[in-house]
Amino acid sequence: MFGINIQTEFKEIFNQKTAELSGNRDELDVLLEGLPHIMDRVINESADLLYNSIMEGINEIDEHEEKLINYYQENVTKDWKEALKLLKAIIRISEEASEEILNELKRGEYEDQNNLIYFVLFKIHSRSISISKEINLLLSNGYADGALARWRSLHESAIVFILLTSNFNNKDFTYNIIERYIDYSAIEVAKEVKKLSLIQSSEMDNDYFKKIEKRKRELLSKYGKDFYYDNFWAAPLFGNKKGKIHFYELARKAGMGKLNQYYMKASQQVHLSPKGLVENLSIPADLDSSKYLLYGSSLYGLSVPLQLTADSLIQITTNFILLQESLDRVVFSKFLSRLAKECKIITSRINTELLSKVNKTNSTREEG
């Protein structure tokens, strides 16, 4: 793509021209004075030529990329087919469970429940299913690190869902904690506006700013000035503690602190920390990932995000269906638990088989 050698050609022409004018100082001064304008013209005209060339061959580029995508899709599907098929089933089953609960609500079987409670729970559950589908697409195309980064949001959804329903039998408490959770969105908006006002040179819409500030003051008056702290919507779950509530505290409260190591690794991919830059799930652990450049898909590393996705979605779905217990729902929850275990077995087996192939290949190369 960069083989046009404009700089080399321009340098040769310039050197030739300056050599020709070396005996004529006036003309050489004119040439040097007009050099910036000449450079601008050369750059713009060359960029136009390159743009036209690329646009003429854009179909070839598209075909080349499609071939690469299809190649990796075929190989990922071939090696991970059994696990991906199970994940798709888990996603579909979770979606059907959500639809069934929604139908029961429409039939009035939960008419005594508060609308706000179920509205928020359905929003979280439906979003979790949507995220799981996004992760499935990433996995199916061989993007393990992208899938893990997206799982981070699914994990957060699971924690929030569990905390919001942690005392579901107490409807007043549940309504209060969910109302706090929804109201806290206005605090997040106020924080965003404050940051934007500090980093943007142009003044923000004054009426909009006043509206946001007014809503913030109302909420701080309603819940107390500590409501401005991070995650303070969850304060009643911590005995009305003071100050900022860290995410790891939410995870631990939800009984999911054991997944912090994966959450930290996912965060490194989301924010591209120095550690996340040199560590990739998509590069086998036996290889030094800091020495390899990965430009796209890989067959490796899918087991971790795949299993985590299955576990997180099943956890949210199980908690959702057991909000109203019945024998059928308990049996269904046991069925979901079996799916999670089966998914772990399958993904571990496939991962072991792939790594075994890598080790054999490396051994062959070393012997050679």
pLDDT band of residue 50 (cuts 50, 70, 90) is confident
- Per the model's pLDDT, the better-predicted residue between 144 and 41 turns out to be 144
Backbone φ and ψ of 212, nearest 5°: -65, -45
pLDDT score for 242? 80
pLDDT at residue 347 greater than cutoff 70:
yes
The model's pLDDT over 286-316, given as tens digits with 9 standing for 90+, comes to 666 667 777 778 888 899 999 999 999 999 9
pLDDT at 359: 62
> CA 269, CA 276: separation in Å to the nearest integer?
5
pLDDT (mean) for 81-85: 93
Average pLDDT over residues 142-159: 95
Q: Which range in 71-75, 101-105, 272-276, 327-331 is most confidently predicted, on average pLDDT?
A: 327-331
- CA 314 to CA 158: how far, in whole Å? 9
| pLDDT number for residue 116 | 87
What pLDDT was estimated at residue 129?
98
Q: Which range (18-27, 116-125, 161-170, 259-268) has the least confidence?
A: 18-27
Instruction: For residue 367, name the pLDDT band (cuts at 50, 70, 90).
Output: very low
Give the pLDDT band of residue 117 (cuts 50, 70, 90).
very high
Quote the CA–CA distance of 350 and 83 in Å, as a whole number.
8
- Does the pLDDT value for residue 366 go beyond 50? no
148: pLDDT strictly greater than 60: yes
Please answer whether residues 97 and 332 qualify as being in contact, where contact means their C-beta atoms are separated by less than 8 angstroms.
Answer: yes
Q: What is the pLDDT of residue 368?
A: 46
pLDDT bracket for residue 176 (50, 70, 90): very high
Q: CA 347 to CA 186: how far, in whole Å?
A: 41
Looking at residue 43, what is its pLDDT? 74
- Residue with the bigger pLDDT between 75 and 178: it is 178
> Is the distance from CB of 63 to CB of 127 less than 8 angstroms?
no
For residue 73, pLDDT beyond 80: no
pLDDT of 127 above 90: yes
What is the C-alpha separation between 88 and 363, in angstroms, rounded?
36
Distance CA 96, CA 94 (A): 5
Give the pLDDT band (50/70/90) at residue 14.
low
**211-246: pLDDT as tens digits:** 888 999 999 999 999 999 999 999 999 986 788 899
Q: In 3-state terms, what secondary structure has residue 183?
A: helix
Question: Is the model's pLDDT at 1 over the cut of 60?
Answer: no
Q: Which of 248, 210, 241, 212 is nearest to 227 (CA)?
A: 241
- So what's the pLDDT on residue 282? 77
Going along 163-234, which residue ranges are E strands? none
- From 24-28, 88-92, 299-303, 363-367, the region with the lowest mean pLDDT: 363-367
Cα dihedral 201, 205, 206, 212 sign: negative
- Per DSSP, the residues of 152-170 read HHHHHHHHHHHHHTTTTT-
CA–CA separation, 299 and 353 (whole Å):
12
pTM for this model (two decimals): 0.84
